[in-house]
Amino acid sequence: MTPRVTFIPYVPAHLAALAPHVDASLTPLLDEPGYAKTLAVPGLSWTALAGDTPVGAGGVLPIWPGRALAWALVGTLPKTAWTAVTRQALAVLQHAHAQGHGRIEAHVDAAFANGVRWARLLGFAPEGLMRRFTADGRDHLLYARFG
């Protein structure tokens, strides 16, 4: 039986637990000293646990007043947990808007159809193509939502 997914505040150690289960092209970024700590924004970042194991994390990272960046890393998340994870992500996005982040952006790998679908489900609208956006030259799509 698949354990129920619960949510707790994100802490930097969760990123290390997720790293082996996400896209290998992210490894240089995830290994960057201090990156995991940067994502820990009280009230705006979360970790999904299956039992005691981190299976996903996400949040909203303020860039400057009124603008923020949504992020998510999903590892071995059970299919049955996607509804709960989507609700959690929506709640955090709404909380970020309520804190004054009127524009929240998301960058999605252009070849990652499930990521594109999830961004739209979360209320993001496409804004454009960012060519050669990643260190390894992959294109990303820029999305934004407004609140």
Find the CATH number of the domain harbouring 35.
3.40.630.30
Instruction: Indicate the pTM of the whole model.
Output: 0.91
Are 89 and 67 contacting, i.e. CB atoms less than 8 angstroms apart?
A: no
* Residue 76 confidence class, pLDDT cut points 50, 70, 90: confident
State residue 75's pLDDT score: 84
Question: Where residue 95 falls among pLDDT bands split at 50, 70, 90?
Answer: very high
Dump pLDDT digits (tens) for 10-64.
999 898 888 777 777 777 777 777 999 999 999 999 999 988 889 999 999 999 9
Residues of the domain holding 138:
5-146
Number of domains in the chain: 1
CA 103/CA 144 separation, integer angstroms: 7
Neighbouring C-alpha atoms within 13 Å toward the C-beta of 19: 15
Return the exposure string of 7-20: e unless at least 16 CB atoms fall within 10 Å of the residue's CB, then b: beebeeebbebbbe
